[in-house]
Amino acid sequence: MGRPLPDCTHACAVSLPTWESVIGYEEGRDKVMKKLEAGYPRFFLHPLVKRLFAKATEEIAESGKRAIVFPHKRAAQGAQRYVERKIAVATRIASYEDGMQALIVPETAIGVAMEYWRYTGEVVSSRQAEDLLNETEPEGSSTVILKQQLSEFSGAELDDHFIYESGMAGIFSAYRAVMNLFPSKKTLQLEFPYVDALKVQQRFGNGVVFLYDAEGEDFDAAVRRIQEGEFAAVFCEVPSNPLLRTVNLPRVSEACRQGGVPLVVDDTVASSVNLEVLKYADLVTTSLTKWVSGVGDVMAGLVTLNEESVWATEFRSFFSEDTDGGSRLYAGDCLALTSNMKSYRERVMKSNENGELVADYLHEHPAVGRVWYPKYNTPHEYNLIRRDEGGYGGLISFTLKQPRKMPKVYDALELCKGPSLGTEFTLASPYTMLAHYFELDWAEACGVSPNLLRLSVGIEEGEAVIGALARALDLA
């Protein structure tokens, strides 16, 4: 059985309950920003992390400068290079407590430095900040136990799992690993991805060839270019976020092996419970923040290495050094994630059931214009990599036949509203408005409507979620 709808006051780290509050958040309006106490950690500093920054600034920064604390030296050095490349300012790196490093920058460079924080995901967690501020030793969990849990689903050896402080940190590390092999080439992105997965490829290397609709003649041409060895790597999500499209992964994998091109696949959206992708990829990236954790109280990321990859030796050496032996996850976060993961399979299976129920309901609703769900779009490609016991996942996107009514529907929707997915409680997100507010025309040209609503369906009673949707859709 599922559970009743949760009290959103306690379930969500951040709630943007109205369409206008989403716009206010994106535009930084005081009316909204002054009410926000917390938010998605790469975009909105947790109060404890803010306090840590302020403490470091007071202790080690000169007048007129600020300290941004990073969890390790490599991150601080990367941020320094990023800032100095973008703007002509003097910066320095200073050692801080517990092996952390602070980047000291002028006030005018804060925004640029925080771009690095956002895009790379190399962030300090709120638990780590709290322990530093309180001068307490963390109660941690064994990384080996967490890797044993992860191995049950990935099928990889324990030492082929590399754990990061966030999902984006894992993606960024995978990107650096492939660029380390082929530093003069561009990458190829297949299908419209999560916003920062594309930004990393655009901002940190030689550029990216982006095919947002990997079907037909354009896809055939891309496959030929892969076979010719043109790219440093191919990146894709299966299925993609937010359009839930799945590329023909076996075909892409074969082309990559013919052309000597690494294939990096992200399985976050539908999870490793539902999909088997490692045998096709060289590297698999996963945001452990989402379905694996399930409760939205810890950030973590994973890179899983395919031991059969022709670059397995090089990759294993790179990630072992990058993670100092296998994990960069803070001990307190490791403990939380290990506990949360105990219900991972059960959570995903219930979300599969509810997700399909809700997707079917939306698919038949007279006010709904289009539904994106693996059952309905690119189902053949999805089923090629679907496990025997797997489902279609809990993530659904949809638009209305009258798109301009979506703000009214969103405002009336009695569900938790926030910028994440994979929680035990259902989350509604006006995805394009949150992820692409300042590039809406570009996103729409790629097939992502500004009035798209994304649902991450949790483990409540499915009929309760449908009831909430039905009442809101009466306004459509």
pLDDT in tens, 338-362: 999 999 999 999 999 999 999 999 9
Query: pLDDT band at 7, cuts 50/70/90?
Result: very low
Query: pLDDT band at 137, cuts 50/70/90?
Result: confident
Distance CA 55, CA 45 (A): 14
Strand 395-400's sheet: what is its strand order?
368-372, 395-400, 453-456, 427-429, 416-417
Distance CA 57, CA 125 (A): 18
Give mean pLDDT, residues 399-407.
97
Distance CA 151, CA 92 (A): 40
**Which of 210, 222, 287, 288 shows the shortest CA–CA distance to 256?**
222
Distance CA 57, CA 103 (A): 10
Is 232's pLDDT higher than 90?
yes
Query: pLDDT band at 209, cuts 50/70/90?
Result: very high
**Which of 173, 80, 165, 91 shows the shortest CA–CA distance to 128?**
165
Confidence at residue 41, expressed as pLDDT on a 0 to 100 scale: 79
**Which of 262, 251, 215 shows the shortest CA–CA distance to 378?**
215
pTM of the model: 0.95
Confidence at residue 13, expressed as pLDDT on a 0 to 100 scale: 58
Q: Which residue has the tokens 């009290």?
A: 7
pLDDT per position as a tens digit, 142-183: 899 999 999 999 999 999 999 999 999 999 999 999 999 999
Give mean pLDDT, residues 312-325.
96
Of 186 and 7, more confident: 186
Of 237 and 325, more confident: 237
Query: Rounded mean pLDDT of the chain?
Result: 94
Distance, CA of 445 to chain centre: 22
In eight-state DSSP terms, residue 460 is B
Distance CA 293, CA 329 (A): 14
Confidence at residue 80, expressed as pLDDT on a 0 to 100 scale: 97
Give the Cβ contact number of residue 19 at 10 Å: 18
Query: CB of 402 within 8 A of CB of 476?
Result: yes
Give the Cβ contact number of residue 465 at 10 Å: 25
Q: Going by C-beta distance under 8 Å and a sequence separation of 6 or more, which residues neighbour residue 49?
A: 41, 69, 123, 124, 125, 126, 129
Distance CA 344, CA 333 (A): 16
Strand 161-164's sheet: what is its strand order?
161-164, 301-305, 283-287, 263-266, 233-237, 187-190, 208-211
Query: pLDDT band at 43, cuts 50/70/90?
Result: confident
Query: CB of 377 within 8 A of CB of 240?
Result: no
pLDDT per position as a tens digit, 362-397: 999 999 999 999 999 999 999 999 999 999 999 999
Going through 151-258 in order, the beta strands assigned E by DSSP cover 161-164, 187-190, 208-211, 233-237
Is 60's pLDDT higher than 50?
yes
Domains along the sequence of the chain with CATH: 8-18+343-473 (3.90.1150.10), 42-124 (3.30.70), 143-342 (3.40.640.10)
Give mean pLDDT, residues 124-143.
90
* CB-count exposure of residue 181 (10 Å: 0-12, 13-18, 19+): middle
Query: pLDDT band at 40, cuts 50/70/90?
Result: confident
* 429 bridge partner residues: 454
